[in-house]
Amino acid sequence: MHKFKIVDRKGGQFGVQFSYNSEVMVWSESYASKASAQNCIDSMKKNCPKAPTADLTRGEEGKGYRFEIAGSKDGQTFVRFVASNGETMVRSETYKSKSSAKNCIKSVMERSAGAPVVDET
């Protein structure tokens, strides 16, 4: 089952993970408060299902809430979900194939809105 998790981070901070079974698909930066982590989740639930995708590896650009496919230094790709202010909300691991990055986006788009939230703090 897909779900959001609020997790503990170092220094009394909190993070967000979106996972499928035991695999973490995307994760957030650290937040000073649990309320900020919850705001990240609420925003993703609202904005991910209809967000466009910009493939930065092909020179595409985007604005507003969006997914981005970005290249890593070792030639692989990863996914970011970016807020309308340009800040990265979550990112994924690196993938050897771009199709795996696209599958990650599809899964987050289709399942984020209805995903339960589990507080693991």
pLDDT tens digit string along 33-84? 999 999 999 999 999 999 999 999 999 999 999 999 999 999 999 999 999 9
pLDDT band with cut points at 50, 70 and 90 for residue 98: very high
Question: The domain 2-113: what is its CATH number?
Answer: 2.30.29.80
pLDDT confidence of residue 66: 98
User: 49 and 61 in contact (C-beta within 8 Å)?
Assistant: no
Taken in order 65, 8, 92, 5, the sign of the CA dihedral is negative
8-27 tens-digit pLDDT:
999 999 999 999 988 999 99
Q: According to the model, what pLDDT value does residue 117 have?
A: 97
Q: Which amino acid is at 5?
A: K
Quick one: pLDDT at residue 22? 87
Q: Which pLDDT does position 56 carry in this prediction?
A: 96
Instruction: For residue 38, give the H/E element and its range.
Output: helix 34-47
pTM tops 0.75, yes or no = yes
For the beta carbon of residue 100, count every other beta carbon within 10 angstroms: 16
Q: Which residues contact 73 (CB under 8 A, 6 or more apart)?
A: none
pLDDT per residue over 73-96, tens digit each? 999 999 999 999 999 999 999 999
